[in-house]
Amino acid sequence: MTAKKPLQKIKGDQAQAATRGFLEDLFDDYYAQRYKVYRMNFFRGIVFGLGSVIGGTLMVALLIWLLSFFNEIPFVGPFTHTIQNSIQKTPPKQN
């Protein structure tokens, strides 16, 4: 039994060293060209922001559309009616 513990410890140390070496190589290769990293993160942020705005707009529109089916319910009906009226009566923006 005592021979298995050092063998397992050696295997664990080798696996940990291999993982550490792989991560260091990946880090060195990826971050060697900082301009590419900055450019990628910039575009990633733009796409994330655009997707958030589009997704939020679609979710609000879907919610209003679903609530419009419940015009007869006492508390939801007047609320959705008010929202629909405010959307329909909003004048177009003029520059």
8 A C-beta contact, residue 73 and residue 80: no
Residues with Cβ within 8 Å of residue 79, at least 6 apart in sequence: 67
Q: What is the DSSP letter of 14?
A: H
Q: Is there a domain that residue 6 lies in?
A: no
Residue 93 domain-assigned (yes or no): no
pLDDT in tens, 13-55: 777 888 888 877 777 766 667 788 788 889 999 999 999 999 9
Q: In this structure, are residues 71 and 81 in contact, taking their beta carbons and an 8 Å threshold?
A: yes
- Convert the pLDDT of each residue in 55-89 to its tens digit: 999 998 898 888 777 777 777 778 777 877 887 77
- Specify if 75 maps to a domain: yes
26/91 Cα distance (integer angstroms) = 55
Number of domains in the chain: 1
Residue 37 lies in a domain: yes
65, part of any domain? yes
42 belongs to a structural domain: yes
Structural domain includes residue 51: yes
Tell whether 92 is covered by a domain: no
Q: Which domain holds residue 23?
A: 15-84
